[in-house]
Amino acid sequence: MESENDLGDYLRARRAALAPAVVGLPDDEPRRVPGLRRDEVALLAGVSTDYYIRLEQGRERHPSEQVLRAIAGALRLDDAAAAHLFRLGLYAFGAAAATTTVAPELLRLMDGMREVPAFVVGAAQDVLAANATARELYSGFARYDNLLRMIFLDPFAREFYADWDRAARIAVGNLRASSSQYPQDERIERVVGEVSVRSPAFAGLWARYEVRPRTHEDKHFRHPRVGEIRLHFEALAVTSAPGQHLSVYSAEPGSADADALARLRRLSEPQSPREARGKSVQEADPESEADSESEQESTSTDRTDPVEGSRS
């Protein structure tokens, strides 16, 4: 998934993404490359240009914590991006792989949250489990299995996300954060490989090396059955299962979005056999409706309603 010079790749990507004006440097002449030049980063970090060049080229692989902190400041890295820089520079990597098995206790908790969409996501952005309301929220997708694959490979995503570009950037930044914590996770490598080959948009965003863990945000969806709906998202880390997050959506009480969320929940509820029969009668040919009702009345005393199977 990464090259043999992860630190150099990351430094080049962050340098290219930083406009000179942001750090107070003049930008009144043409530049051969976007962003800052190597000598400018070195100047801002207080290190020699030669030393910084060796870092980017991979000829210097053991920078001190002080140097990395100075470079993080020069590149205006936020906490998550700086933490990634330190992991690359100091080889302070996390676990080799994230946990993918969802504990029964977490499943019970998630299923009990029936009023809101709730689902468990793994480090590779696989949907490991979801309650009925969450499945209804994402019901327009061909498969509800991996958020990256859904956003970049399913055409429905462009309709579902009101701001697809923003959703795509956030999803890639979140996956970058996971890959930083679990650099040897084979599932993350497979997801990156598959989606990169099939989506140039993903490949372009992945090459920007933006590390942004997704913890909370406001989302705007266009659901095929309830219409426009704006929900607040919270990702709660599951401390007992590294790499897993319980993702929960909520709506402002008393708002139109809360009403839409209530409709979403009702749509997710399984129909009773009697309701299903009633719906089939309403949708039947009007000329045969009376005959159908008569037949139901004549047989209702002779049989009981079948019992639906439990949800898997």
Cα–Cα distances (Å) from 248 to 79, 130, 156, 262, 283, in that order, read: 24, 10, 22, 15, 35
Give the pLDDT score at 255.
96
Confidence band (pLDDT; 50, 70, 90) for 158? very high
* pTM of the shown model: 0.74
Confidence band (pLDDT; 50, 70, 90) for 271? low
Average pLDDT over residues 45-66: 90
Burial 212-250 (b: 16+ CB within 10 A, else e): bbbeeeebebebeebeebbbebeeeebeebbbbbbbbbb
Q: Taking Cα atoms as reference points, which of 109, 66, 85 lies closest to residue 11?
A: 85
Contact 207, 13 (CB under 8 A): yes
Domain boundaries, the chain: 6-90, 104-268
Non-local CB neighbours of 300 within 8 Å, separated by 6+ positions: none
Confidence band (pLDDT; 50, 70, 90) for 307? very low
Give the pLDDT score at 297.
42
Average pLDDT over residues 57-61: 87
Q: Which amino acid is at 246?
A: L
Q: What percent of the chain has pLDDT over 70?
A: 83
- Given 3.30.450.180, 3.30.70.3420, 3.40.228.10, 3.20.20.120, which CATH number is that of 104-268? 3.30.450.180
What's the number of CA atoms in the CB half-sphere (13 Å) around residue 30?
1
The pLDDT mean for the chain works out to 85
Classify domain 6-90 at the CATH superfamily level. lambda repressor-like DNA-binding domains (1.10.260.40)
Average pLDDT over residues 9-21: 91
Average pLDDT over residues 71-97: 81
DSSP-derived 3-state class of residue 182: coil
Cα–Cα distances (Å) from 256 to 118, 264, 268, in that order, read: 20, 12, 19
Q: Which amino acid is at 58?
A: G
Q: Is the pLDDT of residue 6 over 80?
A: yes
Give the pLDDT score at 303.
34
Give the pLDDT score at 311.
36
Q: How far apart are CA 169 and CA 206, in angstroms?
A: 9
User: pLDDT digits over 170-199, tens only?
Assistant: 999 999 999 888 888 899 999 999 999 999
User: pLDDT digits over 210-253, tens only?
Assistant: 999 988 999 999 999 999 999 999 999 998 898 999 999 999 99
